[in-house]
Structure 1
Amino acid sequence: MTAPPLASVVSARTDVELAAVFERVWEARGYQTRVRFRGPDVHVEAAGETPEGATRELRIWITTTGTVTADKTSAFVRRCERAAIEPYVAAVGGGRVAPDAHRRGLVVLDAPTIAVEIRETGVESFVRDLAAEADGADGDGGGPSSGAEGDDSNDDEADRLTRREALKKAGAYVAGGLVTYLAVERVSDFVQQSPKLRAAVARHAAWLDARLPDVRLPTIEWSLPTPQPLSEESTLPNRTTAVATPANATTIPYADLRTNPESYAGTTVTYTGRVEETMERGEARLALVAVEDDRGRLSGDVVARWPTGRFFDGDIGFRLLADERVRLWGVVAGEGSISGGAQYPRIDVSVLEKT
């Protein structure tokens, strides 16, 4: 039977499997690679030297199910530019990049382009083997294998979990308690270094299902340090505990807020996100914050504004730095910009916390 086209094989891969493909492609070029899991997003980072001897670093954001919006690419490209990393987005299968999401310097990879990269680096056999292994694991499982294994083979097939089921079961155990979560995360940090290993663990997790109740988790002892003032004279708290958070605050879906911020003017809102950029303009301090949705995924940017001296000098005892994760409460005040450039929904902040 004729083998399917390489581009269609690439299109059928999951985020994790595609990360393994990019790892192999860039390792074949002599680059050091690693996989990072940022919330639900998968990134592959590669660093090495070009044939001319120049140092090169790149980061590939992989999506096979979602849409990459303009606000998300703006935050991604800015983060890469600050770290002097080339930004790539690989959108295959059900993933796509919105028409207005393209940015200068952002390289968008589709399945045919990735197929060319695979052939150029000579890793096509690895990709097809990975696809065959994954497709076999996702199948019905069939009957018992031929040979003398008998009932043991039947039991193995009956107990096998799909990767999706294994992930659901892992999520249930994580929700079981903080100590269990920490133990799983400790192992996960190691496993996630290799997407292929991560996929293999998920495919063969069925046997673990029957044995998890008997596993004795390590005892983790906790000791919380006593909060200390920044100096002998300072009494600044770490949070805005002196100011009550608004009880009527809501979280407007970012897509709605971005489309027509003026219609929500005067609405009290609250968001959690990461600081992208800060500046002081006259009597106001401003921060560009990439806010998150209820699943922890970056939704887009808002401009947070407050009078100079309201925070840092009185209520908050921490410095607001790039990539700092914060939660803010405030009132929607139309649109604004951080430095006279692109306009984003603006929030006049009344309470700010470091998370």
Structure 2
Amino acid sequence: MTAPRLTSVVSDRSDVELAAVFERVWGARGYETRVRFRGPDVHVEATGKTPEGAKRDLRIWITTTGTVTADKASAFVRRCERAGIEPYVAAVGGGRVASDAHRPGLVVLDAPAIAVEIREAGVESFVRDLAAGASGAGGDGDSEALDSESEGDDPEADGADRLTRREALKKAGTYVAGGLVTYLAVERVSDVVQQSPELRAAVARRAAWLDARLPDVRLPTVEWSLPTPQPLSEESTLPNRTTAVATPANATAIPYADLRTNPESFTGTAVTYTGRVEETMERDEIRLALVAVEDDRGRLSGDVVARWPTGRFFHDDIGFRLLADERVRLWGVVADEGSISGGVRYPRIDVSVLEKP
């Protein structure tokens, strides 16, 4: 029977399987690689040197089920640029990159482009073995790969450049049962694991083992000194002072898609969001922060511009320094749209309370 096209094989892979593929591709080129899980997103990072000897770092964001929106792409590119990392997005299968999400410097990889990378790195046999193992995960021989190799198996029998089907499936199983176990124990849902009863069983065993050995930890009670809400204008002359204030009782987390589409319709609405600081600046006695807010599952939804008078929040009062990538929770009211430096306009929130979640 004719083997399926490599592009079809790539398109049928899950996020975790593609992570194993990219790790193999860049490992074959002499790069140090690692797989990172940022919420539900899977990233592969590679560090190495170019043929000319220059240091090179890259990060590949893998998606096979979701859509990379313009806001998410902007946040991803900014994080990579600050770290000096080349940003890549691999969108195959059910994953896609929105038409307005393309950014300068962002490399988008589809199935044909990934197939070329695989052939150039000489790891096509690994990818096909991985696909064969995944497609036969219900068989008796494949279930053994999730437990242990028999004494007669020799992973090097076919040569260093070709992995056995058993080793390829065990490689993917290691990612799911090991690297994802913490995320799965919290989220309790994973499309990757749902694809195979054997993988679900492996994760359940490891999650139960982990839960049985975690100590009981009593978290300290933290009392925050919070600021008093003040009217905010473009020409603020508020003094630099901070006093305690209760959070708004009627604050709500408006779904970001609705807020982004029509922010003016929510003007004056009390809101609260948790997210990560992308960028901060001061302008005309106004402090601004671009915050990538999270949805109810902890996934980054998009950016908002947080605004408050300079001096409203001091580091000693809020208990932490407001730095890039700092995770914060904010309360305030929607104030139409704004930008942090005259660029893209996002929903703007006049902040009255700020704390570390």
The TM-score range, normalised by the shorter chain, is: 0.7 to 0.9
Deviations 1:210-232 (A, max 9, x none): 898799933626476797xxxxx
Secondary structure of 1:104's counterpart equals: coil
Other-structure match for 1:190 = none
After the TM superposition, which segments of 4 or more aligned residues of structure 1 sit over 2 Å from their partners?
Answer: 170-175, 198-227, 237-242
Other-structure match for 2:78 = 78
**Larger displacement relative to structure 2 (241-250 or 300-309):** 241-250
8 Å contact from structure 2 (residues 177, 203) kept in 1: no
8 Å contact from structure 1 (residues 43, 62) kept in 2: yes
Secondary structure of 1:99's counterpart equals: coil
Other-structure match for 1:149 = none
CA distance in 2, matches of 1:284, 1:53: 45
Q: CA deviation at 1:3?
A: 0.4
Other-structure match for 1:309 = 311
CA distance in 2, matches of 1:255, 1:274: 18
Number of aligned residue pairs:
304
1:12 to 1:52, Cα distance in 2 relative to 1, 3 A: same
Of residues 251, 255, 269, the one that matches 2:271 is 269
The answer on 1:334 being equivalent to 2:336 is yes
Of residues 255, 258, 261, the one that matches 1:256 is 258
CA distance in 2, matches of 1:119, 1:215: 39
CA distance in 1, matches of 2:44, 2:203: 29
Other-structure match for 1:21 = 21
* Alignment of structure 1 residues 292-303 onto 2, 5 Å: 292-303=294-305
Secondary structure of 1:321's counterpart equals: coil
**Larger displacement relative to structure 2 (253-262 or 127-136):** 253-262
1:224 to 1:56, Cα distance in 2 relative to 1, 3 A: same
8 Å contact from structure 1 (residues 26, 33) kept in 2: yes
Q: TM-score, length-normalised on structure 2?
A: 0.77
| Unpaired segments ≥5 residues, structure 1 | 146-162, 176-180, 185-194, 228-236
The answer on 1:6 being equivalent to 2:6 is yes
Other-structure match for 1:132 = 132
Other-structure match for 2:94 = 94
Q: CA deviation at 1:290?
A: 0.4
8 Å contact from structure 2 (residues 305, 346) kept in 1: yes
Q: CA deviation at 1:131?
A: 0.4
CA distance in 1, matches of 2:252, 2:219: 32
CA distance in 2, matches of 1:49, 1:166: 31
CA distance in 2, matches of 1:58, 1:210: 34
CA distance in 1, matches of 2:97, 2:265: 28
Other-structure match for 2:35 = 35
Amino acid at match of 2:212: L
Amino acid at match of 1:68: V
Deviations 1:251-309 (A, max 9, x none): 11111111111111111111110000011111211100000111111111000001112
Other-structure match for 2:226 = 240
Secondary structure of 1:101's counterpart equals: coil
Other-structure match for 1:104 = 104
Other-structure match for 2:57 = 57
1:337 to 1:56, Cα distance in 2 relative to 1, 3 A: same
8 Å contact from structure 1 (residues 49, 55) kept in 2: yes
Q: CA deviation at 1:339?
A: 1.1
CA distance in 2, matches of 1:264, 1:277: 24
CA distance in 1, matches of 2:70, 2:302: 8
Secondary structure of 1:100's counterpart equals: coil
Other-structure match for 1:206 = 201
Q: CA deviation at 1:199?
A: 11
The answer on 1:280 being equivalent to 2:278 is no
CA distance in 2, matches of 1:216, 1:248: 36
Secondary structure of 2:314's counterpart equals: coil
Secondary structure of 2:58's counterpart equals: strand
8 Å contact from structure 2 (residues 272, 330) kept in 1: yes
8 Å contact from structure 1 (residues 166, 206) kept in 2: no
Q: CA deviation at 1:25?
A: 0.2
Secondary structure of 1:80's counterpart equals: helix
Q: TM-score, length-normalised on structure 1?
A: 0.77
8 Å contact from structure 2 (residues 194, 200) kept in 1: no
Other-structure match for 2:348 = 346
| Unpaired segments ≥5 residues, structure 2 | 144-172, 228-243
